[in-house]
């Protein structure tokens, strides 16, 4: 069995300018924008008291994003806010003046017209961009990497987007989408991977993710009787991880929770950067083959990396069995706990925390994290069963067992 790899963050600090992206004010603007959508509702926070007791923790709560806007994943928060911010900028208006009613109005069509939003995706982000574009009477073009399952393709196509599956990995799809956007009249790339010269929209996407972090923090304080002491958040390019880390750092500046960032071992670019230890980013190339398709990204977001290197406590590189274990545990919970249907990219936190608390092989990580009966732990289940066939194969049939 391939082991979990981990490292404590000892990288040198930068000037931390990117932390301001996730200021409380910026996240509040995104939250107000999302609340204007008729589809908006606060997604549940599952308070797993039975599981916490079983693992020896004080509290364990899981933010369940399978209910987000009816799209079975959190990603729509980023894409929708980025599109809203882009349109507001083109019109010379503040996002506070731009809400769902205005974006879907005849007035907007006359003032703005129609743009084409390009993106690359494993499924969830592209579906969110396509959904938002359709809701706002815009166009979307989505490119997906090789190995994409049919149902994720179909879900995007149902939103009216132009969709292709390319014979390249995710990072190469990003480059295809960016090139096509640059060659298209009124074409816009909507990607959470930042690079030099492309930083505004990735920042808007991170702020959109802040809605989820804001909801979770408020719910957790009520459910657990205080702020989280430990947060485990998954990463692909790192935008979600940077958004959560950045928001929590700003919300709890005097006593922030200890954050562990988790990646699929086949695409662990952030872990590799932390392992290098000098503060520079690392890239991971190749097919990036993992069941955690939403985390199969080998090139970090530069803005998010800066936040993570300054504030994240630990980085973990997780084989597929970790996520599969988490899927089964959340799907068949301790009696009395709520069931959480969590997909491959959503359940890695549950799998990692259970391994840390129950497997003597990770006793040193447990000690380093200081996880014990006083610890209050927050996890994010970022997607539901977005690939139902594989979900059943893992949860029902025991695929990717840990032993």
Residues with catalytic roles: 75, 122
Closest by CA position to 60, among listed 73, 45, 72, 43:
45
390 close to 313: Cβ distance less than 8 angstroms: no
Q: Which residues contact 286 (CB under 8 A, 6 or more apart)?
A: 169, 266, 298
Quickly tell me which residue has 């503060």 as its tokens: 279
Closest by CA position to 184, among listed 137, 139, 136:
139
Q: Is 261 helix (H, G, I), strand (E, B) or coil?
A: strand
Distance between CA atoms of residues 227 and 223, nearest Å: 10
Distance between CA atoms of residues 336 and 340, nearest Å: 12
121 close to 133: Cβ distance less than 8 angstroms: no
Assigned token pair, 283: 């890239």
Distance between CA atoms of residues 254 and 260, nearest Å: 18
Closest by CA position to 403, among listed 347, 319, 340, 342:
319
143 close to 120: Cβ distance less than 8 angstroms: yes
Q: Is 166 helix (H, G, I), strand (E, B) or coil?
A: coil
To which H or E segment does residue 262 belong? strand 258-264
| Cα pseudo-dihedral 381, 386, 392, 395, rounded to 10 | -10
Quickly tell me which residue has 């790899």 as its tokens: 5
> Which sign does the torsion angle of CA 376, 380, 384, 387 carry?
negative
342 close to 352: Cβ distance less than 8 angstroms: no
Quickly tell me which residue has 């920042």 as its tokens: 203
């Amino acid at each position: 069995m391939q082991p979990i790899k981990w490292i404590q963050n000892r990288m040198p600090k930068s000037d931390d300018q990117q932390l301001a992206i996730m200021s409380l004010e910026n996240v509040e603007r995104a939250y107000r924008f999302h609340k204007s959508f008729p589809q908006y509702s606060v997604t549940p926070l599952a308070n797993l008291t039975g599981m916490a007791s079983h693992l020896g923790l004080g509290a364990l709560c899981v933010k369940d994003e399978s209910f987000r806007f009816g799209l079975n994943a959190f990603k729509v928060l980023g894409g929708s806010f980025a599109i809203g911010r882009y349109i507001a900028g083109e019109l010379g208006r503040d996002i506070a003046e731009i809400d769902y009613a205005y974006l879907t109005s005849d007035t907007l069509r006359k003032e703005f017209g129609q743009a084409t939003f390009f993106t690359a995706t494993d499924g969830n982000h592209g579906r969110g961009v396509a959904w938002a574009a359709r809701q706002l009477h815009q166009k979307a073009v989505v490119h997906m990497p090789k190995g994409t399952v049919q149902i994720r393709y179909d879900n995007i196509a149902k939103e009216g987007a132009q969709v292709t599956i390319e014979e390249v990995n995710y990072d190469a799809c990003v480059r295809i989408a960016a090139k096509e956007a640059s060659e298209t009249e009124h074409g816009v790339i909507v990607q959470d991977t930042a690079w030099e010269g492309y930083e505004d929209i990735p920042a808007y996407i991170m702020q959109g993710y802040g809605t989820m972090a804001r909801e979770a923090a408020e719910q957790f304080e009520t459910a657990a009787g205080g702020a989280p002491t430990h947060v485990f958040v998954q990463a692909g390019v790192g935008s979600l991880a940077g958004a959560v880390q950045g928001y929590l750092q700003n919300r709890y500046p005097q006593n922030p929770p200890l954050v562990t960032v988790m990646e699929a071992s086949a695409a662990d670019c952030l872990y590799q950067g932390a392992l290098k230890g000098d503060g520079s980013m690392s890239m991971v190339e190749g097919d990036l083959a993992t069941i955690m398709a939403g985390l199969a990204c080998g090139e970090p977001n530069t803005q998010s990396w800066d936040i993570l290197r300054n504030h994240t406590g630990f980085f973990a590189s997780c084989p597929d069995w970790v996520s599969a274990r988490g899927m089964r545990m959340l799907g068949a919970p301790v009696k009395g706990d709520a069931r959480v249907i969590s997909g491959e990219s959503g359940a890695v936190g549950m799998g990692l925390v259970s391994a840390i608390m129950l497997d003597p092989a990770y006793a040193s990580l447990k000690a380093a994290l200081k996880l014990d009966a006083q610890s209050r732990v927050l996890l994010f289940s970022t997607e539901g069963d977005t690939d139902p066939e594989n979900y059943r194969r893992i949860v029902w049939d025991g695929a990717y067992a840990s032993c």
